[in-house]
Structure 1
Amino acid sequence: MTGRVASVNVGIVTEAEWAGDASGRSGIDKRPVDVPVLFHPDGVTGDFIGERAHHGGPDKAVYAYAEEDAAWWAAELGRTIRPGGFGENLTTYAVDVTGAVIGERWSVGQAVLQVTMPRTPCTTFAGFWGVPDLIRRFTVRAAPGAYLRVLREGDVDAGDPVEVVHRPAHGVTVGEVFRATSLEPALLPRLLAAVDLPEPIRDRARRRLAGPAS
């Protein structure tokens, strides 16, 4: 089955006590749009980002989450989770986001995107959902969604196909990176093979493997 874009979502400004921005504003509440949206190297046109120290920028220009994983959470929590409810710009269908290889390239609409890293859950996410133990539960579930670079800017719309046009041979997946940095440190040596993984993550892996400084 060919993967596709189920929804393109952009963030609105939300003011809340749980917002991580120093100004008390967050862009985690993303809403579906019904027109093509330009994806460019610094992000998604019209998308509000509150905490630029932790979100946005070239390595986190786009966040994708699978519709199938969202359905699991809806059943787990017993409530509806609409597209954009994870703070994702791209809600995908029939795309193995957790199994995507770091550095993998996707052709999506007119854009070409590259998988960079998993999402790390934060207190803003837990506050947005109103689930105090969400960080723990999200970590245990280990279906974090993927951040992507924009290698070629272009318009993306709901219904556009998602085609994997390149997959690196190292095979290190989004799910492995997430588990290595959260639950399974035995996987850390694998991260050094993922040359497209952002250097701060590779460097943290090297330092953890080296152990305490003598």
Structure 2
Amino acid sequence: MSEHFTGAVVLSTNISPVGPGQPRTGIHKTPHESIEVFEPGPHYGAGSGVRGDLVGNSKHHGGAQKAVYAYSREELDHWAQALGRELPNGYFGENLTTQGIDLERLLINQQLAIGEALLEVSIPRSPCRTFAVHMDERGWVRRFTEHGRCGIYLRVIEPGTIRPGDQIELIGRPGHEVDMLTTFAAAMGDDAASERVVAAACLPEMYHQRHVDRLAARAPRA
């Protein structure tokens, strides 16, 4: 089973090149004519799933669950209007700037065929100090969190090349109803959202266990 969204495309493919003179953070991404995605090692230190893309903080970024990051042009436009400044494609550190698809309403583990690659919705982004410094906006982490639209991290199921203009096709459907919007809320401390995430058992074990442990710690003692 597959599903096409009319107009759902990759608008821009972006990387932060690895090399002398480049910033030490991978958030400074600029458009390139294509990207090649692959499955890195399982852990954060394994690097990006986009060939030639810098991961500055290997303690918290990279690895199979954070192989590729996607953010929508629609959300960039929202923030451009709210902040009164231009936000070019790639500015939020995304490898894929998309158009015509509500990324945060995609279900966890939904598969996406894009170009030559097959990707799978993985885990939410957690806004960090690097992101805040990059944006240079007062209270940025709080504002981004409250808006609730975090983009999506993707794992790579089948490697391949992705180019601007490639259509985005949904393949199959996970056996639950937990979307990225709910999962981000859970990651940011919403207990009701965490309960839904735990009940669906849709996250990788490490992330699933974080919610189990947090809910257990907050449960009233008998």
TM-score by length of 1: 0.90
User: What's the CA shift string for 1:55-79, capped at 9, x where partnerless?
Assistant: 1110100000011111100000001
User: What's the CA shift string for 1:109-155, capped at 9, x where partnerless?
Assistant: 00000001111100100101111311000000000000000000000
The CA deviation at 1:183 is: 4.9
Match of 2:70 among 35, 46, 64: 64
What count of residue pairs does the alignment treat as equivalent? 204
- Counterpart in 2 of 1:39? 37
The answer to whether structure 1 residue 131 and structure 2 residue 130 are counterparts is no
Moved over 4 A (4+): none
**CA–CA separation in structure 2 for the residues paired with 1:121 and 1:64:** 14
Match of 1:161 among 161, 167, 188: 167
- Counterpart in 1 of 2:12? 7
- Counterpart in 2 of 1:98? 104
Query: Superposition pairs for residues 1-214 of structure 1, below 5 Å?
Result: 1-12=6-17, 14-15=22-23, 25-34=24-33, 36-42=34-40, 43-211=49-217
Identify unmatched segments of 5+ residues in structure 1: 16-24
Task: Select between 128-137 and 101-110 the one with higher mean Cα deviation.
Answer: 128-137
Instruction: Say whether the 8 Å CA contact 1:172–1:193 is kept in structure 2.
Output: no
The CA deviation at 1:193 is: 3.6
User: What's the CA shift string for 1:139-183, capped at 9, x where partnerless?
Assistant: 000000000000000000000001111221211111101112215
User: Cα RMSD between the aligned structures?
Assistant: 1.6
**CA–CA separation in structure 1 for the residues paired with 2:218 and 2:25:** 36
**CA–CA separation in structure 2 for the residues paired with 1:4 and 1:80:** 21
- Counterpart in 2 of 1:18? none
TM-score by length of 2: 0.87
User: What's the CA shift string for 1:170-205, capped at 9, x where partnerless?
Assistant: 111111011122152222111124444122221011
Identity across the alignment (%): 40
Identify unmatched segments of 5+ residues in structure 2: 1-5, 41-48
